[in-house]
Amino acid sequence: MKPDILVLGSMWSQEMRDQLRQSFACHFMDAIPGAGDASLETIAGGIRAVLTTGMIGVTPELVASLPALEIVSVNGVGVDAVPLALLADKGIHVTNTPDVLTDDVADFAVTLLLSTVRRLPLLDRYVRDGKWPARAPLTHARSLKGKVAGIVGFGRIGQAVAQRLQGFGMEVRYFQRSAGPAPEQRSSSLLALAEESDMLVLCMPGGADTRHMIDARLLEALGPEGTLVNIARGSVVDQDALVAALRDGRLGAAGLDVFEDEPNVPQALFGLDNVVLTPHVGSFTVEARRAMGRLAVANLVAHFNGEPLPTPVV
């Protein structure tokens, strides 16, 4: 008999759904069902695995309602939406999809940085709105070469971003709490990094440990000429402080792919020309999403075959 699995999220392609159905009895739900949801109650007792997205994760309530749960497979590298300690306590495995998305996410971080400093959306609007023939004034953008890029979180993605930015002639420094590679590039503190950097790229994991790590003081240190790029999680930035700093010109510019309450984005950002906004799409390529999906399924298949998990979260 195929194991019963709960598949959360609306982003699964037909290819993925067909592949999943070959090995599992699938119960698809767009989001985590609310308490007392009848459609979950009828199947909850038999669910042995949850396949979920990085953003949806699972809640402690959902875990409590699934007595036969053995494994949670996250289709994403970030596991901040998953109660890891609770799952470990219960002996429930957790897997994610590292590596296969690193290059595309790093490419996107650079795309967002360049779009922000070169103000690509503004220039596109300039042409579409017919301002070019009218010779409407435009101010010069800024270059990357010779500037300091500060990377917060120097894991796989942070290092891939650093490599790319070095290729643009930037000096790279980083900060993370734990020791990392290239100790000579590590700033003594996050505040020091913000003070030393022209552009700050956020690549750290989300979750309680990093919540609001980028606060008003940090933004102030980055300053009116500084640029912030966030491809990590909305939670790592104090969003109200960010909006205020951008609005008042205390922070130069920001490229934001992630937000505190997705898909809701503060209206106050919509009218600002020094901001580029994208809808959490760092890994949103055909190639990365296909590889992520396959790895997320491979983890489930390995578990039910009694084989080692390809990418357990440790």
Residues at the contact surface with ligand 8YV, assessed by CB under 6 A: 53-55, 75-78, 101, 280, 282-283
Q: Residue 77 or 162: which CB sits closer to ligand 8YV?
A: 77
Least separation, in Å, of the C-beta of 284 and ligand 8YV?
7
Best CA proximity match to 87, nearest among 124, 49, 118: 49
Q: Residue 54 or 150: which CB sits closer to ligand 8YV?
A: 54
H runs (alpha helix) in 9-139:
14-23, 38-41, 60-64, 84-89, 102-117, 120-128
User: Catalytic: which of 156, 250, 280, 294?
Assistant: 280
Q: Residue 54 or 226: which CB sits closer to ligand 8YV?
A: 54
* β-bridge pairing 47-53 and 199-202: unpaired
Least separation, in Å, of the C-beta of 307 and ligand 8YV?
24
110's CB contacts (< 8 A; 6+ apart) are 161, 164, 165, 168
Q: Is 171 a catalytic residue?
A: no
Least separation, in Å, of the C-beta of 174 and ligand 8YV?
19
Q: Cα–Cα distance between 308 and 302 in angstroms, integer?
A: 6
Q: Residue 153 or 282: which CB sits closer to ligand 8YV?
A: 282
Place of tokens 């000579």: 184
Q: Is 260 a catalytic residue?
A: no
Least separation, in Å, of the C-beta of 137 and ligand 8YV?
38
User: Catalytic: which of 15, 262, 287, 307?
Assistant: 262
Q: Do the Cβ atoms of 172 and 159 come closer than 8 Å?
A: no
Place of tokens 């990590």: 232
Q: And the tokens for 112?
A: 């967002």
Q: Residue 117 or 213: which CB sits closer to ligand 8YV?
A: 213
Q: Is 290 a catalytic residue?
A: no
Q: Residue 78 or 150: which CB sits closer to ligand 8YV?
A: 78
Least separation, in Å, of the C-beta of 106 and ligand 8YV?
12
User: Measured on CA atoms in the order 161, 167, 169, 172, is the torsion positive or negative?
Assistant: positive
Least separation, in Å, of the C-beta of 157 and ligand 8YV?
9
100's CB contacts (< 8 A; 6+ apart) are 288, 291, 292, 295
Least separation, in Å, of the C-beta of 53 and ligand 8YV?
3
**What SS3 class is residue 22?**
helix
Exposed, middle or buried, 131 (CB in 10 Å: 0-12/13-18/19+)?
middle
Q: Residue 102 or 116: which CB sits closer to ligand 8YV?
A: 102
User: How far is the CA of 220 from the CAs of 113, 116, 149, in angstroms?
Assistant: 19, 18, 16
User: Measured on CA atoms in the order 111, 113, 119, 122, is the torsion positive or negative?
Assistant: positive
Q: Which amino acid, 184?
A: E
User: Catalytic: which of 233, 260, 289, 303?
Assistant: 233
Residues annotated catalytic, as ranges: 233, 262, 280
